[in-house]
Chains A and B, each alone.
Chain A
Amino acid sequence: MIFFLMAPQFSTLGQTKTQENQLNQKNLLLSLGWTNTTFRDFATSPLFYRGSGFSLSYEKQTINQKSEINWGFSPLFSSTQACIAKSDYLQERAFSAFISMDGYLKYYRDLPRISSEKIQFKAGGTVLATQNIRINESLLNSAFGVETFLNLMVSAKADIDISQKEEKTIHLWFLKIKQNPSKQKLSFQTDIGLLNFNHRPSYNYVYFDEIDDNYTNELFALKEHYDWSLNGYRFGTKIEYSKFAPTGNGFKIAYIWDMTNAPGKHQTFQMATHRIQYTLIINKNK
């Protein structure tokens, strides 16, 4: 379905450079975010791990009158702590470093029939790949946790035009703040996983490749007793405010929620991240 939706975009690739520049708005998006992560890996623990961290993101965006394409990658670094029942004896603490890398490609088509000048609806698909690496020394020989997710998702988006058309003055106590007319946008976006693949530990896993002298690649050794499964679900939502300068540059502030439930073949992995993200929009058409 994703490729079907993308086909019309590829058919326009034969246009001349000038035509393309007139039609396509190209942006580079650089983001920094504060994150709150929750995960639980039943292969090693029934406990939730929660904690804060930060994320970075590099994204390229192409928007024209009919469609929008975004692709990029986003690493996330977080320090999490096990949610442990209170002890009246000697309180345990368990920490896990959580590193995650997302790579994604999003494609939206405009839906002119249900759109208006004020609200523009779009629908399309997302290919999202995520690699997690977790380090939790308290888990002894299972200190390393790695999992991979590959999701083909159906995506929908609504862009609401909240541009300021006229100059405005805000009175804040004794301050007078003058606001010039500017293009502003509020966006709601949702992704729902259609095909959810996960690469999770098998019934048991040991890093036997570390012992065998054929072992050459640490990541391969870590994932020796892992299986691919097609199950579970993944959801994501994004609420985003964008403001543009007359040059086409601008910024965005977004709240992003992403949730994964991956049963695997034997034991479930669950993960949710909440992200407050600031993005610089750099107009690449100039």
Chain B
Amino acid sequence: MKHNISLLFLVLTLVSCEKIFFEADRATNDPFINFEYLWTEVDEKYSYHEYKGVDWDAIGEKYKSMLYPTMSEDSLFAVLATMLKELRDDHVNLVSPFNISSYEVFLTGPDNYNARTIRDNYIKDFRVTGAFNHAFIKNEKIGYIKYDSFSEDVDKESLNYILSFYKDTEGLIIDLRTNGGGNPANIAKILERFSNEKTLVGYNITRNGPGHNDFGPREPFYIGVYDGVRYHKPIMVLIDRSCYSACTFFAFACKSFPSITLVGDTTGGGGGLPNGGQLPNSWTYRFSVSQLIDVDGNNYAEGGVAPDIQVNFDWSDLSRDEILDKAIDTILKD
């Protein structure tokens, strides 16, 4: 009996044994602790403090003064979300069960896409293949491909089909307007179809220390060559302010391809890859921790990739899409 009791005691001791070794549970709704945690994470890991001229210390002081011990969760969310908006970055979000914060960079430029204009005046019927809606335009001289989101995975069979379908055209138009990004793995899957040789398009640098300018080594960003169906005639890529994140990465990489012309408005940016985390009150967040720089060392992707041909949509005449018209003219003129 004595032995059995000893054994039971030993088992019970082991069941809670890790508590001796682990630090205390940090779950809390305390507004000061949550504020400090988020502020410190952004201070130590966010990648664009210097690039954007953000005085994070001053911002911290300003918003910390708005805290009080009995504040509601809604009020704390408002303070933290407004603080994060000072970073002017749509890769910076705070997620709670009742609200999600974002900067909404697309509001800093005009809308440049109207789906009904294209449907009513250019294309009656779209084919839908994988992640793409596509059709001939201009008497089958041009192939038009709409890619709505980089979150929709690109599969090689779909691209084989589409590029074979349009192989006799004079050019392609890839419409990325309102494409808010998604999985960046899809960038190379598309661009390697337009490539003749492995192409260095830029570098990624990731923050690696507590100083705002501490970054690791440059990691090359290559686009390879697809061993199969490819397309080598002129390509117009349509962009606008809603083209963000992976879409900006795509536009950025297009700059290294002579056969590709960017038409429309400057992209929304999002040149930093985000990383996510969780606060002691369980709300989650993410923010940029890297920067994208071009082959010459220029750092502009976060502010947006400018088009080669700047054109805006004229909302006074919904029968024409000026950006699409310009892309068509450029292909046919060539």
A residues with a Cβ closer than 8 A to B are 38, 40, 44-48, 82-94, 138-143, 202-208, 210-215, 225, 233, 235, 237, 239, 255, 257, 259, 261, 270, 272, 274
Decide yes or no: A38 and B18 within 8 Å by CB, A90-B98, A140-B284, A204-B208 being known contacts. Answer: yes
Q: What chain B residues lie within 8 Å of A204 (beta carbons)?
A: 45, 206-208, 275, 289-290
Q: Which residue of B lies closest to A214 (CB)?
A: B222
Q: Which residue of A lies closest to B98 (CB)?
A: A90
Pair B223/A213 contact, Cβ less than 8 Å? yes
Residue B278 contacts which of A93, A94, A205, A207 (CB distance < 8 angstroms)?
A94
Pair A212/B276 contact, Cβ less than 8 Å? no
Instruction: Give me 9 A-to-B residue pairs in the complex whose CB atoms sit less than 8 angstroms apart, sorted by A's number.
Output: A47-B27, A92-B97, A94-B284, A140-B274, A140-B285, A205-B206, A206-B204, A208-B219, A212-B219
Least distance between B313 CB and chain A CB atoms (Å): 30
Residue B18 contacts which of A44, A202, A259 (CB distance < 8 angstroms)?
A259
Query: In the complex, A203 Cα to B289 Cα: how many Å?
Result: 10
The 7 closest A-B pairs by CB, nearest first: A140-B276, A45-B278, A272-B18, A213-B224, A213-B188, A206-B273, A142-B276
Decide yes or no: A212 and B277 within 8 Å by CB, A82-B282, A84-B282, A259-B17 being known contacts. Answer: no
Q: What chain A residues lie within 8 Å of B107 (beta carbons)?
A: none
Least distance between A78 CB and chain B CB atoms (Å): 15
Q: What chain A residues lie within 8 Å of B290 (beta carbons)?
A: 204, 206, 208
Q: Which residue of A lies closest to B28 (CB)?
A: A85
Looking at chain B's contact residues, the main secondary structure is mixed
Least distance between A7 CB and chain B CB atoms (Å): 33
Residue A139 contacts which of B21, B22, B276 (CB distance < 8 angstroms)?
B276
Least distance between B249 CB and chain A CB atoms (Å): 7
Decide yes or no: A212 and B21 within 8 Å by CB, A138-B95, A141-B273, A141-B276 being known contacts. Answer: no
Least distance between B73 CB and chain A CB atoms (Å): 4
Query: In the complex, A85 Cα to B206 Cα: how many Å?
Result: 33
Pair A85/B282 contact, Cβ less than 8 Å? yes
Q: What chain B residues lie within 8 Å of A206 (beta carbons)?
A: 204, 206, 273-275, 289-290
Q: What chain B residues lie within 8 Å of A255 (beta carbons)?
A: 11, 14
Decide yes or no: A40 and B278 within 8 Å by CB, A208-B219, A214-B224 being known contacts. Answer: no
Q: What chain B residues lie within 8 Å of A88 (beta carbons)?
A: 73
Number of A-B contacts (CB under 8 A): 165
Q: What chain B residues lie within 8 Å of A213 (beta carbons)?
A: 188, 192, 198, 222-224
Looking at chain A's contact residues, the main secondary structure is loop
Least distance between A103 CB and chain B CB atoms (Å): 22
Decide yes or no: A239 and B96 within 8 Å by CB, A84-B27, A89-B74 being known contacts. Answer: no
Q: What chain B residues lie within 8 Å of A211 (beta carbons)?
A: 184-185, 187-188, 204, 221, 249, 273
Q: What chain B residues lie within 8 Å of A215 (beta carbons)?
A: 185, 188
Pair A85/B45 contact, Cβ less than 8 Å? no
For the complex, is B15 an interface residue (Cβ under 8 Å from A)? yes
Q: What chain A residues lie within 8 Å of B185 (beta carbons)?
A: 210-211, 215
Query: In the complex, A94 Cα to B285 Cα: how many Å?
Result: 13
Query: In the complex, A141 Cα to B204 Cα: how many Å?
Result: 17
Least distance between B34 CB and chain A CB atoms (Å): 10
For the complex, is B115 an interface residue (Cβ under 8 Å from A)? no
Pair A140/B286 contact, Cβ less than 8 Å? yes
Residue B286 contacts which of A82, A141, A203, A259 (CB distance < 8 angstroms)?
A141
For the complex, is B169 an interface residue (Cβ under 8 Å from A)? no
Q: What chain A residues lie within 8 Å of B283 (beta carbons)?
A: 92
Q: Which residue of A lies closest to B226 (CB)?
A: A213
Q: Which residue of B lies closest to A221 (CB)?
A: B185
Q: What chain A residues lie within 8 Å of B289 (beta carbons)?
A: 204, 206
Query: In the complex, A225 Cα to B29 Cα: how many Å?
Result: 32
Least distance between A41 CB and chain B CB atoms (Å): 10
Q: What chain B residues lie within 8 Å of A237 (beta carbons)?
A: 14
Query: In the complex, A89 Cα to B98 Cα: how many Å?
Result: 9
For the complex, is B220 an interface residue (Cβ under 8 Å from A)? yes
Least distance between A231 CB and chain B CB atoms (Å): 14
Q: Which residue of B lies closest to A83 (CB)?
A: B27
Q: Which residue of A lies closest to B280 (CB)?
A: A46
Interface string of B195-237 (1 = CB under 8 A from A): 0001000001011110000001001111110000000000000
Q: What chain A residues lie within 8 Å of B96 (beta carbons)?
A: 90, 92
Query: In the complex, A88 Cα to B275 Cα: how many Å?
Result: 29
Given A85-B281, A204-B275, 7 more pairs with CB closer than 8 A? A44-B277, A85-B27, A141-B286, A142-B277, A203-B208, A204-B208, A259-B18
